[in-house]
Homo-oligomer: A and B are copies of this chain.
Amino acid sequence: MLKELASAAPRDCEDCPIRHRAVCARCESDELERLDQIKYYRSFEAGQTLIWSGDKMDFVGSVVSGIATLTQTMEDGRTQMVGLLLPSDFVGRPGRDSAAYDVVAVSDIVMCCFRKKPFEDMMARTPHIAQRLLEMTLDELDAAREWMLVLGRKTAREKIASLIAIIARRDAVLNTAGMQGPLVFDLPLTREAMADYLGLTLETVSRQVSALRRDGVIMLEGKRRVTVPDFNRLLEEAGDDSDGGLLV
């Protein structure tokens, strides 16, 4: 296992892969320098719980690479994923000192962290940071509301199609520029994590993935690699308007 890779962190903010999408996106070079002085990197292995709900949070930070989940758990063990953290996403909340959710690494992860207090001070003095954080929070709120429609009103098949569409769309944005032709990508989540995301059981997830494959909506290579021959068909299955309706 190549653990060294997981801790490969950018030396310099200017080379940082999330430079133009994270909280620091709007910072000028002098602001960036000040941030640079208080930042530090941390890396985590796949499967590790970075933060436990209720724990004292003495830092905030951005995901540089890798994927993590935000989940909520009930006393009896039922769990619901409430956020999916991708590179550039922000973790922690200025002004709160204990974590509200569990944060779990799905893959190996590198984070760019700031101790909370210095970051809060810096935020008060640097409107560019607060502005960007507001923008990102509003985007997350929109995503959460989209997700509420999925959880509250969609059928199991529509839920699966919606999730695959979200992953496909994100992948298309990050990698290939256009969305023409068949999309090919890996599902970053296990069936169980998909179930936690969608408010289903892993058996139902498995059945519906199989059903979409049988019906030609997706093709599978192994258990994770997906090909979507016709994205509009997938959107129809998701119950979404085939063109509009996407806030991302």
Which residues on B sit within 8 Å (CB–CB) of A241?
75
Please tell me if A239 contacts chain B, counting CB pairs below 8 Å: yes
A246 to chain B, nearest CB (A): 11
Counting chain A residues whose Cβ lies within 8 A of the other chain, the interface size class is 35 or more
Which residues on B sit within 8 Å (CB–CB) of A247?
100
Please tell me if A101 contacts chain B, counting CB pairs below 8 Å: yes
Chain A positions 230 through 248: 1 when the CB is less than 8 Å from some CB of chain B, otherwise 0: 0000000001010010010
Complex: A64 Cα to B134 Cα, angstroms: 23
Quick check: A199 and B138 within 8 Å, CB to CB? no
Complex: A137 Cα to B130 Cα, angstroms: 12
**3 pairs of A and B residues whose beta carbons are closest in the complex:** A152-B199, A82-B145, A151-B151
- Interfacial residues, chain A to chain B (CB-CB below 8 A): 54, 70, 72, 74-76, 78-80, 82-83, 93, 95, 100-101, 124, 127, 130-131, 133-135, 137-138, 140-142, 144-149, 151-153, 198-199, 239, 241, 244, 247
Query: Could you list some 13 contacts between A and B, CB below 8 A?
Result: A54-B244, A76-B239, A80-B149, A80-B152, A80-B153, A82-B149, A83-B145, A93-B138, A100-B145, A134-B137, A144-B144, A151-B151, A153-B199
